[in-house]
Structure 1
Amino acid sequence: MLLGIDMGTGSTKGVLVDTMGTVIASETIAHSMDLPRPGWAEVDADAVWWREVCAISAALVAKMPAHATLGAVCVSGVGPCLLLCDADLRPLRPAILYGIDTRAHVEIASLTEEFGEKDILDRAGTLLSSQAVGPKIEWVRRHEPQVFEAAAGWYGSNSYIAARLTGEYVMDHHTASQCDPLYATREFGWNRQWAERICGHLPLPRLVWPSEIVGQVTAAAAEQTGLPAGLPVAAGTVDAYSEAFSVGVRRPGDQMLMYGSTMFLVQVIDEYHSDPTLWTTAGVEPGSLALAAGTSTAGTLINWLQTLTGGAPFDELTAEALGVPPGSEGLLMLPYLAGERTPVFDPQARGVLAGLTLRHGRGHLFRAAYEGIAFGIRQILERFDDGHSGTRTVAVGGGLKSPVWAQAISDVTGRSQLVPEQAIGASYGDALLAGIGAGLVPADTDWARIAREIEPDPRNRAMYDELFATWAQLYPATREQMHRLAAADPG
C-alpha cells in the first residue's frame, strides 16, 4: 500500500492506494485559514497541518487490508508558504501562505530595486510578486526581528511535514523554485548570493526532487501518526503540481487546468523559458521545467454572485445561465474582484461589468462571470503559446460540475479539455510519488485514465473572438480609475 496526503487551503485529504492505482480508502478533515489583518493569510502549522496529517495517517493505517503492508508515504501541501521554526521544529509564528498573502508588497519593491528586475527574471525565471517567498522572509526579518533571530530553519508546508516525520531538513526543487529570488531555476540550485543575503543566518535546506526518499519515519513520529517506524518518506511538493502529476501531465506540452476557488494552470516545457507575466519553475520529475499561472478569483466569484442574488440553489442558477445564449447578449465581466494575478499582477484591480442593460437578468450575470473567467484563461494560454504551445489540456477540479463554465472555456479558447476518470486530487499524485520513490512502481507509471472530452463548439468561435478583443481592452482602459477607487476604499 502507498499513502498520499495533501494539505489544501480548505482541507487535508489522504488516500490509501495499492500499486495499481486503486484507491482502498480515503479520509478528509476540513479546516480554514486565518485572516488576521487585511492582506494577511496564515495557518497554524502545528494545530492544522501536523495534527491533521497525524489523524489521517492513523485513520488510514487502521483501514489497511489484512496482510497488506505500507510501502511509503508522501505529503504535499499549499505553497509556496513560509514557516519559521526553532531548532526543535516548533513553529515560531503562523505559516504565511502563498500568493493570497500580500503583506510583503514593500519588500517586493525594495528587493526588485536591489537585485534588478531584469536580473531577477533571468536568474529566478519569475518576477517578484505576492507568490514569492523571499520578500516574505525579508518581511519577517524587518517586522518581527525576534522571530527571525530565533529561527533555526525555514520550511514550506510539505517540507515541514517531512521534517516532522524524518528529522531531515530538505526542500523539493519545485517548491524552492517558487521561493523567488532564492533559487536559480535554469541551474536547478540555490542562487546562493541572493539566498544568503535574504536568509542571513538561516541555513538553506538540502534540495531534493519530489519523489526522492528523504528519510524514514522516526520512532517519535510513528507514535504520533500511527505510521510504522522506518517507513520511507518521499519529499512531496506543492499540491497543484502533485495534482498535475496525478492526472498524467508529465510530458512537454501537457497542460493542467484546475477549476477551483481560483484557477491554476501548469504546463510542462522542454527547455527553459521565462516570461514576466508567468511563473517559470522546476517541475515534478528530476530535471523537468514548467510554466504556471493563476487567477485571483474563479469559484469565489460564482459563490459571491450566488449569495448576492439571493442564494438560490446552484442547479437553478445553472439552468438560468444555460438559458442565456453564449456571449451573454452583450454583457462582459472583468472578474478582478480580488485584484488579479496572471497576467496583470495588480492587487488594486477591480471588477467591471460592461454593457449592462435593464433586460439583463440573473442568468446573464452568471454566464458573463463564467465567460469573464474563460477570457482570462485564454489570455494566459496565449502567453503560454508565445514560448511553448500546449498540445494536451487536462481539466480537474470541482468547477467542472458546471456545464456552463467548462464549455465556455473550451469555446473561448478553442481547445478541447480532457477530463480524467479519477480526479481525486493531489493526494493521489502523492501516493504515486511515494511508490516511485520507494521503487515499488516504475518511474514512468501513469495511473491517469481519461473519461471524457469537452470539445469547443465551432459555431461560437467568431463571436467569442470578437468579444475577447473587447474584453481585453477593459482592464487597460479602466486601470487608472480602478486604482483611484482602490485608494479611496477605507477597507
Structure 2
Amino acid sequence: MFYQLLTCLQILTLRTVNPFFMDFFVGLDIGTSSVKALALGPSGEALGVRKKPYPVQTDPSGRHEEDPETIVQATLSVLRTLLDDLAGPGSPGRHLASPDAPARRPVCIALSAAMHGLIALDEEGRPLTPLITWADTRAAAEAAAFKGTPAARDIYRLTGTPIHPMSPLIKLRWLRTARPDLFAKAATFVSIKEYLWFRLFGVFEVDRSIASATGLFDTQAGRWYPPALEAAGITPDRLSKPVPVTHQRSCTLPGLEVPFVIGAGDGCLANLGSGVIAPGEASVTIGTSGAVRVVTNRWQPDPEERLFQYWLSEGMFVRGGASNNGGNVLDWFAGIANWGGAATPGQAAPAATGPGQAARPETSALDQALDEAFALPKESEGLLFLPYLYGERAPIWDAAARGAFIGLRSYHKSPHLLRAVTEGIGYALYDTFRLLDAEAPIHTVYASGGFTQNEAWVQQLADTFGKTVRLTDEADASATGAVFLGMLATGALSKLSDVKRHILEGKTYAPRPERHAYHQRYYTLYRELYPALSKTFHQL
C-alpha cells in the first residue's frame, strides 16, 4: 500500500493542467536498455518524445540483469519531463487555444514493455532478484535438457513460446535448481511492466500479450496453463491475474482522472505501431537485435517449433521470430575495427532539443565504412558470415550457437567483412521470413530500425527477400502501438484496423531480379553452415 500511494502521488504531480493545450495520448515503452515516452495528438501527430537509458549488468556467465527500481524511477522521470514540456511556455499546442479555453489533459497513458523478463518478489512486493531480461542465457542448459521432451512439445503447442533461455518458464526451472532458497521465498514472479503496475496501483495484473510470451500461458484460452505451471514448479497464486490489453486503472487528482491502459508486449505493439496488421504484410526490424513478424487471426503452432505466436488483441496474434543479432553485431565489428563511437547507422545524431524536434543525423565512422562496403563491385567476393555472436533465437533457438566467417581469403579486406556481416544479418532474418511467406504469401515488407538510415542496406534486404520493402515513418513503433491501444481503450479508435489512417509510409524499394538470384545462391550456401558447425559450437 505504501508503494501504491507513493507512486500515485509521484505520477499525479507530473504535470500542471494547461488551458492552452490539446488533448493528447501518451505511449510509454519500457525497453531492454531504456524507457521512452511519446505523446501523440488525437490525429496521430507527434507532439514530443523523451527517452532515458538505464544500465545493464552482464558477465561471462550469461547474466543480463537490470535494477527494477532504477527502471521505475527512469519511467517516472521521462513522464515528468515529457508532460512538463508539453505544458510549458514552448508548448506546441499553445497557439491552438484561446486564453479562456477549458483545461485539457492527457487522455490516457498506455504501456508497452519488453517481453520475457522475470523478477522474484517477496510477500510485500519487494524485489528479491534484479530483472532477469530476455537476453540472460544462464538457463541455457536447462532449456537444452527440457527441449524436445513430450512436456515441452505440449507446452509450445498451447503457449506459442519456444523453449529457450529467454522464456520465464525456463528461467523459473533454472532458479528452482540454482537458487532453491530464493525460489521458495518468492511470493510472486512478475515482468517489469507488472512490477511498475503494482507500484502504481498495488495489484498484480498482467496483460495477455506479456503473459503469452512467458511459456506459462494458454494463449488461445487466455489463462495460465496448468501443465506449464507444473513444469515451472509454481501455482497460479504466484503469478499476476491476466487481463485484456485494453484494461485500465486510474490515479486521480482533484478534477482530473488520468487512465493508465495496461497495453501489450513491445514486439506485438511494434507491428501495430507500424500499421503492419493486414494479410500479406510483414514487418522487419533491425535495431540492436532483429525480428520478422506478421499478424494473423489463426492459431497455428509451427510443427518444428521455429516460430513464436503471441497475443496482440482479441482474435489477433503476432507470429514470427526474433534474432539476437542485429545492430549489436555491427557494434562488435566496429569495436574490433577500432572505429569508435556509435555503431548502429544513424546513431551518431544528437538528441532532440524539444518536443517534436527531430535530431539531425551526423555521419559516423560506421556510416562511412558501410558506404565503402556497399560500393564493392563484387559484394563480399565469396565471403559468408554466420551472425550468431549472441547465440540465436528464431528459427534455430540455440543459445550455444556462435558466429563465423566462412571463405576468408587474403584479398578480403575490412569492407568485404563488413558487407558479409550485413548480408549474414539479412540471411538470418530471411530464415524466418521464408517460413512465414510459405504459410501465407507476403507481398510487402515494412522495414524499421537503425539500418533504414542506409539506403543501400535496405535495397540489399529487398534483393535478399525478393519482396517490395517500404520504410515506415514510425521510429517509435512500440510506443506508437501503445498509443493506438490507448485510443482503442478510450474509444478514440473503434477498431485496430483504423490505425492505417494514422500511418505515414516512407520510400519504397523494389527487388532487383538479378540481385535476388545472387542472394538466393549465397543464402543456399549460408543455410548449410549452422547444421555443419552446430556440433562444434556445442563443444567449444
Query: How does the TM-score come out when normalised to structure 1?
Result: 0.90
Whether 1:463 aligns to 2:518 is: yes
Whether the 8 Å contact between 2:307 and 2:320 is mirrored in structure 1 is yes
In structure 2, the partner of 1:428 is 480
Name which of 464, 474, 483 aligns with 2:538.
483
Where in structure 2 are the equivalents of 1:312-351 lying within 5 Å?
313-325=365-377, 327-351=379-403
Where in structure 2 are the equivalents of 1:370-409 lying within 5 Å?
370-409=422-461
Question: How many residues were matched structurally?
Answer: 474
Name which of 62, 69, 72 aligns with 2:105.
69
Relative to 1, partners in 2 of residues 1:326 and 1:421: Cα closer, same or farther, differing over 3 Å? farther
In structure 2, the partner of 1:209 is 244
Per-residue CA deviation, residues 299-349 of structure 1 (Å, 9 max, x unaligned), is 111122122123171232022112213541111111122222212222222
Per-residue CA deviation, residues 28-63 of structure 1 (Å, 9 max, x unaligned), is 11222111552111111111x210111111122212
Whether 1:243 aligns to 2:298 is: no
Whether 1:120 aligns to 2:155 is: yes
Per-residue CA deviation, residues 149-188 of structure 1 (Å, 9 max, x unaligned), is 33332222222222222223211112111111x1122333
Whether 1:96 aligns to 2:132 is: yes
- How many Å separate the matches in 1 of 2:395 and 2:481? 28
Whether 1:108 aligns to 2:143 is: yes
Name which of 234, 245, 253 aligns with 2:261.
234
- How many Å separate the matches in 2 of 1:53 and 1:218? 19
* Alpha-carbon shift at residue 201 of structure 1 (Å): 6.8
Whether the 8 Å contact between 1:7 and 1:77 is mirrored in structure 2 is yes
Whether the 8 Å contact between 2:155 and 2:227 is mirrored in structure 1 is no
- How many Å separate the matches in 2 of 1:13 and 1:201? 32
- How many Å separate the matches in 1 of 2:485 and 2:111? 9
Whether the 8 Å contact between 1:295 and 1:341 is mirrored in structure 2 is yes
In structure 1, the partner of 2:56 is 33
Whether 1:58 aligns to 2:58 is: no
Whether 1:10 aligns to 2:33 is: yes
Whether the 8 Å contact between 1:102 and 1:130 is mirrored in structure 2 is yes
- How many Å separate the matches in 2 of 1:171 and 1:115? 28
Where in structure 2 are the equivalents of 1:72-87 lying within 5 Å?
72-87=108-123
Whether 1:264 aligns to 2:264 is: no
Relative to 1, partners in 2 of residues 1:127 and 1:13: Cα closer, same or farther, differing over 3 Å? closer
In structure 2, the partner of 1:417 is 469
In structure 1, the partner of 2:358 is none
- How many Å separate the matches in 2 of 1:477 and 1:79? 32
- How many Å separate the matches in 2 of 1:350 and 1:359? 24
Relative to 1, partners in 2 of residues 1:107 and 1:393: Cα closer, same or farther, differing over 3 Å? same
Q: Percent identity?
A: 24
Query: How does the TM-score come out when normalised to structure 2?
Result: 0.82
RMSD over equivalenced CA pairs, Å: 2.3
Whether the 8 Å contact between 1:134 and 1:179 is mirrored in structure 2 is yes
- Give, as a single letter, the amino acid of the residue that structure 2 aligns with 1:97: T
Relative to 1, partners in 2 of residues 1:381 and 1:28: Cα closer, same or farther, differing over 3 Å? same
Whether the 8 Å contact between 2:443 and 2:467 is mirrored in structure 1 is no
Where in structure 2 are the equivalents of 1:275-314 lying within 5 Å?
275=302, 276-311=304-339, 313-314=365-366
- How many Å separate the matches in 2 of 1:297 and 1:343? 12
Q: What are structure 2's unaligned runs of at least 5 residues? A: 1-23, 88-92, 95-102, 341-364
Whether the 8 Å contact between 1:249 and 1:256 is mirrored in structure 2 is yes
Name which of 402, 421, 427 aligns with 1:369.
421
Whether the 8 Å contact between 1:279 and 1:293 is mirrored in structure 2 is yes
- How many Å separate the matches in 1 of 2:175 and 2:367? 46
Whether the 8 Å contact between 2:269 and 2:312 is mirrored in structure 1 is yes
- How many Å separate the matches in 2 of 1:268 and 1:80? 20
In structure 2, the partner of 1:148 is 183
Whether the 8 Å contact between 1:213 and 1:232 is mirrored in structure 2 is no
Whether 1:176 aligns to 2:211 is: yes
- How many Å separate the matches in 1 of 2:322 and 2:386? 15
* Range 61-70 or range 51-60, more displaced: 61-70
- How many Å separate the matches in 1 of 2:184 and 2:537? 40
Whether the 8 Å contact between 1:185 and 1:282 is mirrored in structure 2 is yes
- Give, as a single letter, the amino acid of the residue that structure 1 aligns with 2:295: V
* Range 445-454 or range 190-199, more displaced: 190-199
Q: What are structure 1's unaligned runs of at least 5 residues? A: 223-227, 487-491
- Give, as a single letter, the amino acid of the residue that structure 2 aligns with 1:358: S
* Alpha-carbon shift at residue 136 of structure 1 (Å): 1.1
- How many Å separate the matches in 1 of 2:242 and 2:448? 29
In structure 2, the partner of 1:454 is 509
- How many Å separate the matches in 2 of 1:144 and 1:169? 24
SS at match of 2:538: helix
Relative to 1, partners in 2 of residues 1:391 and 1:204: Cα closer, same or farther, differing over 3 Å? farther
- How many Å separate the matches in 2 of 1:87 and 1:254? 45
* Range 474-483 or range 102-111, more displaced: 102-111
- Give, as a single letter, the amino acid of the residue that structure 1 aligns with 2:410: L
* Alpha-carbon shift at residue 403 of structure 1 (Å): 2.7
* Alpha-carbon shift at residue 283 of structure 1 (Å): 2.9
- How many Å separate the matches in 1 of 2:148 and 2:447? 38
